[in-house]
A = this chain, B = another copy of it.
Amino acid sequence: MIAAEGGTAVVDQLIVLLSVFLIASAVGTLVAKIGRFPYTIALLLAGLVVSIIVAVYDIGIVETLFVEELQLSHDLILLVLLPALLFEGAATTDLERLRRNLVPILTLAVPGLLVSVALLGFVGTYAFNFSLLVSLLFASMVLPTDPVSVLALFEELGAPDRLSVLVEGESLINDGVGVVVFSTLLALLVNGSTPASLLEPAKAAEVAAELVVVSLGGLVVGLVTGYAVYSVMVNLDEQMTEIVLTIVLAYGSFILAEHYLHVSGVIACVVAGLFIGNQGAEYAMSPRTKISVFNTWETAAFLVNTFIFIAIGVGTPIPQLVENWQLIVGGIVFVILARAAIVYPFTMLLNLRKHINIPLSYQHVMVWGGLHASIPIALVLGLQTEAPAGVPTAELKAMVFGIAAFSLVVQGLTMKKLLSRLGIVTRTQTEELYELLVGRARAVDAALDSAERLHASGDIPANVLDDFEAEYGREKEDLNEAISALLRDNPELRHEQLLMGERRVLQEEKSALMDATRSGVIASDVGERLMEEVDLKLDRVRSGESTARRDEEGYTESWRQQAAEFGLDADVRIDDDDREAQSGG
């Protein structure tokens, strides 16, 4: 890439890259014409076609150009391509929404993944006739899920937000965990450890400790590098330099963690991305910078995905797949079963906590939407050179490529049908219009705010501001009218929006109570009691009842009761609160 490699090397690489992008533009044009066929899957199919042509016919130039030059190496995927995808994925994830679903996401991504690796590893010794360590290695390699195609589909079809967050969050985190487990197992294999040694308490504790250190280390590196870049960006308003800084952060956090500190680079990169995409976007970027930074990463991720999916297609070793078809079919079945075996029981356990409540239809989507693509392929390619003798690398490669192709093409393409059969795609025309109106209203508010700020700082003169305000003010009024009319005509939409608003208000209430309890303003038992009430309301809201109409509420807040018991004039209702406060103060 940097050093000179002789004339033809650079030219050849350029020609291959150009051919890939030429195929990609043909596929992109075709997909745009046909309509809703997933772009990534179309790329993969185009790559597979090239691979089949090479396998069946013997076209020298195609083989030389594509198959030899376009080899995805372990390093290329893991060091060059993956950080871009992980960073972009994390940076565009809303931390708040992630936090709200953190318990199910972490449960599935950490203990869930570990249990499924153990299960598939154990089953694999019988099903595939692997040794236990190899079988575990295979499981840790293949089980991390990949969000790319599923998310694109979700967006296109308008799947509910929460489902997207659950799937994307789990994928982001289990990638890191999977890589850590894989590396640990590979080290054991290379050191010639026997499967039995894993069962020794001392050895098991050592392995577990290592897992924890590597994961937490990655977390710390991500936070520290993220914060360092954040503090530079806070004092800077120069979009191009800020783009460069995010590039340095994405790859720097990864390399620093993986190469120098030997902790998890994947986790470091994801954490850094989450940090800069949320905290950073909010406090350290001007709107102009934000637009440029996110556009750049969106484009980069698109180009990387384009390359990766075609390369996976081209790199799929068709003859080896044909040869190992039994292993591959077995692998596909057991991987899906292993995923089902954690998704259903774990969410059942999670649903015991009332406020989590992941519906069964979501669970089906989470099982079937667990695609296995770039991470498994990167890991199995790394294995080809690193694995000690006795590891059946050829079989593993065939299995991983086969499972990846199946999950991307078959699971990916049937996702749409599954979603609509389960009745999950829920957005009505009314809701779409409502979102359109609300979105525009927000934009108008931002425009008005910014015009006022620009005027206050002397950047635009008063009469220009007047023009702006008249123009946007009129639009705002019209929007508000349209929104009111829409809500008036659609009581169920109004109800839904009311519930959503109430949920947020209640969450704020709860968070204020937590702060007050933590800082000692109120005693913890009092805090608990008050929070319990809020939880009660939250629960009602979740089950679709509004708490805003007092007369339908059917219960009295505990402070009213207690005030009455105390002999205060507890007959007071809303309007009387003020008087009470006045006479009391």
Provide the bound-state CA to CA distance between A454 and B445, in Å.
Answer: 12
Residues of B within 8 A of A475 (CB): 557
- B443 near A530 with CB under 8 A, answer yes
Provide the bound-state CA to CA distance between A221 and B460, in Å.
Answer: 46
- A463 near B487 with CB under 8 A, answer yes
Provide the bound-state CA to CA distance between A450 and B480, in Å.
Answer: 19
Interface of A is mostly: helix
Chain B residue with minimal CB distance to A248?
B21
Chain B residue with minimal CB distance to A4?
B73
Provide the bound-state CA to CA distance between A191 and B566, in Å.
Answer: 69
Chain B residue with minimal CB distance to A495?
B464
Q: Is A580 an interface residue, CB under 8 A from the partner? A: no
Interface string of A352-382 (1 = CB under 8 A from B): 0000000000000000000000000000000
Q: How far is the CB of A101 from chain B (nearest CB, A)?
A: 12
Q: CB within 8 A of A549: which of B449, B467, B558?
A: B467
- A437 near B4 with CB under 8 A, answer no
Q: Is A414 an interface residue, CB under 8 A from the partner? A: no
Q: How far is the CB of A83 from chain B (nearest CB, A)?
A: 9
Residues of B within 8 A of A467 (CB): 498, 548-549
- B303 near A3 with CB under 8 A, answer no
Q: CB within 8 A of A440: which of B4, B79, B559?
A: B559
- A22 near B557 with CB under 8 A, answer no
With contacts A21-B244, A251-B18 taken as known, whether A442 is within 8 angstroms of B507 at the C-beta atoms is no
With contacts A28-B240, A73-B4 taken as known, whether A14 is within 8 angstroms of B245 at the C-beta atoms is no
- B73 near A523 with CB under 8 A, answer no
Q: Is A97 an interface residue, CB under 8 A from the partner? A: yes
Residues of B within 8 A of A96 (CB): 519
Q: How far is the CB of A329 from chain B (nearest CB, A)?
A: 30
Provide the bound-state CA to CA distance between A308 and B464, in Å.
Answer: 43
- B516 near A439 with CB under 8 A, answer yes
Q: Is A195 an interface residue, CB under 8 A from the partner? A: no
For this chain, the copies found in one complex come to 2
With contacts A1-B13, A450-B505, A524-B155 taken as known, whether A483 is within 8 angstroms of B471 at the C-beta atoms is no
- A520 near B97 with CB under 8 A, answer yes
Q: CB within 8 A of A482: which of B441, B483, B549, B563?
A: B563
- A458 near B478 with CB under 8 A, answer no
Interface string of A497-537 (1 = CB under 8 A from B): 11011101111111111111111111111110110001000
- B442 near A516 with CB under 8 A, answer yes
Q: Flag the segment in A53-61, A174-182, A293-301, A400-408 that touches B.
A: A293-301
Q: Is A456 an interface residue, CB under 8 A from the partner? A: yes
Q: How far is the CB of A560 from chain B (nearest CB, A)?
A: 7
Q: Flag the segment in A123-131, A203-211, A568-576 that touches B.
A: A568-576
- A521 near B468 with CB under 8 A, answer no
- A568 near B287 with CB under 8 A, answer no
Residues of B within 8 A of A526 (CB): 432, 435-436, 439
Residues of B within 8 A of A287 (CB): 504, 507-508, 510-511
Q: Is A539 an interface residue, CB under 8 A from the partner? A: no
Q: CB within 8 A of A69: which of B3, B17, B80, B430?
A: B3
- A438 near B302 with CB under 8 A, answer no
Q: Is A433 an interface residue, CB under 8 A from the partner? A: yes
Residues of B within 8 A of A529 (CB): 436
Q: Is A391 an interface residue, CB under 8 A from the partner? A: no
Chain B residue with minimal CB distance to A538?
B291
Q: Is A259 an interface residue, CB under 8 A from the partner? A: yes
Q: Is A237 an interface residue, CB under 8 A from the partner? A: yes
Q: How far is the CB of A494 from chain B (nearest CB, A)?
A: 7
Residues of B within 8 A of A68 (CB): 3
Among A236, A259, A501, the most chain B Cβ lie within 10 Å of the Cβ of A501
Residues of B within 8 A of A514 (CB): 290-291, 294
- B18 near A252 with CB under 8 A, answer yes
Provide the bound-state CA to CA distance between A71 and B10, in Å.
Answer: 14
Q: Is A422 an interface residue, CB under 8 A from the partner? A: no
Q: CB within 8 A of A255: which of B11, B441, B461?
A: B11
Provide the bound-state CA to CA distance between A295 and B523, in Å.
Answer: 18
Residues of B within 8 A of A6 (CB): 75
Q: How far is the CB of A501 from chain B (nearest CB, A)?
A: 4
| CB-contacts of A247-287 with B (<8 A) | 247-248, 251-252, 255, 259, 281, 287
Chain B residue with minimal CB distance to A78?
B10
- A511 near B435 with CB under 8 A, answer no
Provide the bound-state CA to CA distance between A25 and B247, in Å.
Answer: 10
Residues of B within 8 A of A73 (CB): 3-5, 10
A10-B75, A287-B507, A481-B572 given. 10 additional CB < 8 A pairs? Answer: A14-B80, A14-B255, A21-B247, A28-B240, A94-B519, A295-B295, A442-B522, A471-B550, A486-B566, A486-B568
- Sort A-B residue pairs by CB-CB distance and give the 5 closest, nearest first: A28-B241, A4-B73, A446-B512, A287-B511, A450-B508
A and B contact pairs by CB, cutoff 8 A, 19 listed: A1-B13, A4-B74, A10-B75, A14-B255, A21-B244, A32-B237, A94-B519, A156-B525, A291-B510, A295-B295, A438-B516, A443-B513, A443-B530, A454-B501, A460-B501, A467-B548, A468-B548, A471-B550, A485-B569
